[in-house]
Amino acid sequence: MADILAENLSGKAVMGSDGTELGMLYNITMNHKTGALSDLLVTPDEEAFTVDTGSLDRDDDGRFRIPVSHVKAVKDYIVVQR
């Protein structure tokens, strides 16, 4: 995947590979020792609560935690494997 500036990801919509709109990118976590990116934190779309999100972990604020390794594409949306 080509390099993408973080400023271009802020507020980008996140969609599952099955076409489900999950919400908007809130932030990205990283390992402070290695600098490796860890998880996308996604503020859920209200409609995402009506679909099966059982396989998605959540943080203490209810945001989805999606491993960076699940990112499949970044264009108009961030597409993640579901």
Percentage of the chain modeled with pLDDT above 70: 83
- Indicate the number of domains in the chain: 1
Q: What gap in Å lies between CA 10 and CA 20, rounded to an integer?
A: 19
Residue 72 domain flag: yes
Bridge partners of 39, per DSSP, are 67
Amino acid at residue number 40? L
Residue 1 domain flag: no
Bridge partners of 66, per DSSP, are 40
pLDDT of residue 50: 59
How far from chain centre, in Å, is Cα 48? 13
Q: Which domain holds residue 24?
A: 6-80
Phi, psi dihedral angles at 74 (to 5 degrees): -135, 110
Find the CATH number of the domain harbouring 47: 2.30.30.240
pLDDT tens digits, 17-47: 998 899 999 999 999 999 999 999 999 987 6
Residue 32 domain flag: yes
- For residue 47, count CB atoms less than 10 angstroms from its CB and return exposed for 0-12, middle for 13-18, buried for 19 or more: exposed
